[in-house]
């Protein structure tokens, strides 16, 4: 029996645990300073509970902002729920952590993406010559993609001037 460790999934899961812990803290203490969150999620994901009009307006995904006005932020192991203002009306939402596709806090230039990962396209490597040739070209493709997707954080750092 061959056991493969899915490192990418482990990292994704741990980052979502970090989001959960962050939201738990905000639910108890509120948002500190100028922090605010953009959270994008898959609207038709099992367990997502949003109004019918939202499902019609956002059939695939939706981004919410937790900033100035939010109420009843509650965090469970598998999901969080919050009441946000849409069209001048409070709307309760239940969002499973597994449905989150991105999380960002623009106040500190922090962002996480959980979809369209480069790693999803990589195949497990084996010892056969045919697969080694294919793996080499896969690695070349990965290195090219990786170089094209590198974010230089220095460009986004706020100056202390």
Task: Dump pLDDT digits (tens) for 97-122.
Answer: 999 999 999 999 999 998 754 333 33
* pLDDT value at 36 more than 90: yes
* pLDDT value at 149 more than 50: no
Q: Calculate the average pLDDT of the chain.
A: 78
What domain range is 58 assigned to?
A: 7-115
Please compute the mean of the pLDDT values over residues 16-25 and round it to a whole number.
Answer: 94
Angle at 83 between CA 80 and CA 84, to 5 degrees: 115
Longest dimension (CA), the chain: 63
Give the pLDDT of residue 83. 95
- Classify residue 151: in a domain, yes or no: yes
- Classify residue 132: in a domain, yes or no: yes
**Alpha-carbon gap, residue 36 to 122, rounded angstroms:** 34
Give the pLDDT of residue 114. 85
- Classify residue 1: in a domain, yes or no: no
* pLDDT value at 75 more than 80: yes
Assess whether 87 and 66 both reside in one domain: yes
**Alpha-carbon gap, residue 72 to 87, rounded angstroms:** 18
Give the pLDDT of residue 39. 95
Within 10 angstroms of residue 35's Cβ, the number of other Cβ atoms is: 16
Give the pLDDT of residue 9. 85
Give the pLDDT of residue 97. 94
Give the pLDDT of residue 4. 87
User: By 3-state DSSP, what share of the chain in percent is helix, strand and coil, each rounded to 5?
Assistant: 40, 30, 35
- Give the CATH number for residue 95: 2.30.30.220
**Alpha-carbon gap, residue 92 to 73, rounded angstroms:** 10
The residues, any chain, with a CB within 8 Å of residue 73's CB and separated by 6 or more, are 23, 26, 27, 66, 80, 81, 82
Assess whether 65 and 87 both reside in one domain: yes
Assess whether 145 and 105 both reside in one domain: no
- Name the β-bridge partners of 38: 65, 104
Lowest mean pLDDT segment, chosen from 17-26, 72-81, 136-145: 136-145
**Alpha-carbon gap, residue 154 to 61, rounded angstroms:** 30
Assess whether 50 and 125 both reside in one domain: no
Count the domains in the chain. Answer: 2
Assess whether 20 and 61 both reside in one domain: yes
**Alpha-carbon gap, residue 104 to 93, rounded angstroms:** 19
Assess whether 73 and 91 both reside in one domain: yes
pTM for this predicted structure: 0.68
């Amino acid at each position: 029996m061959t056991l493969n460790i899915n490192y990418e999934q482990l990292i994704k899961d741990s980052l979502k645990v970090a989001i959960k812990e962050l939201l738990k803290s905000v639910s108890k203490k509120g948002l500190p300073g100028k922090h605010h969150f953009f959270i994008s999620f898959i609207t038709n994901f099992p367990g997502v509970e949003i109004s019918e009009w939202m499902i019609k307006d956002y059939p695939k995904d939706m981004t919410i902002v937790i900033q100035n006005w939010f109420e009843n932020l509650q965090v469970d192991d598998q999901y969080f729920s919050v009441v946000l203002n849409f069209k001048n009306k409070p709307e309760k939402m239940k969002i499973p952590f597994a449905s989150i596709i991105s999380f960002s806090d623009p106040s500190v230039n922090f962002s996480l993406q959980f979809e369209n990962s480069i790693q999803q396209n990589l195949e497990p490597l084996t010892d056969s010559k045919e697969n080694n040739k294919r793996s080499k070209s896969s690695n070349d493709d990965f290195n090219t993609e990786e170089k094209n997707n590198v974010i230089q954080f220095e460009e986004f750092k706020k100056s202390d001037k």
